[in-house]
Amino acid sequence: YQGESNVSRSNQYPALLETMIADWRKASGNAGMPFYIVELADFLHESDHGGRAAWQAMRERQAQVADETSSVSLIRNSDLGEWNDIHPLDKKTLGNRVAEKILSENNNRPF
């Protein structure tokens, strides 16, 4: 659940995130360790077309990594958030989405 500081250089993001995933998998000794990318939440006033376009480009990079990297899933979050607060107030909806994704990919077995 990160990426806000990479928005201005989102073109570098896929390689950075893929490298981090590979490094963490190597360090853990678990080559198939799953990763869950939480999509950037909605943010910025609707009149900020440039900023909103940059955030959308970042979301597309997040989706790209999920699509191109094994055992990586994207969790939708762009419909949550407030234009004036980078940290969405509705954390319960996102928490439920994360839990549902993890459980669905693990045959609903608790950890």
Global confidence as pTM:
0.87
Residue 111 covered by a domain: no
pLDDT class for 105, splitting at 50, 70, 90?
confident
Question: Taking the alpha carbons of 18, 19, 21, 25 in that order, is the dihedral positive or negative?
Answer: positive
- Tens of pLDDT, residue by residue over 64-102, are 999 999 999 999 999 988 888 888 888 999 999 999 999
Total count of domains within the chain: 1
Residue 45 covered by a domain: yes
- Tens of pLDDT, residue by residue over 22-44, are 999 999 999 999 999 999 988 88
Six token digits for residue 36: 């869950």
Residue 27 covered by a domain: yes
Token pair 């094994």: residue: 70
CATH number at residue 79: 3.40.50.1110
Six token digits for residue 62: 């997040």
Residue 77 covered by a domain: yes
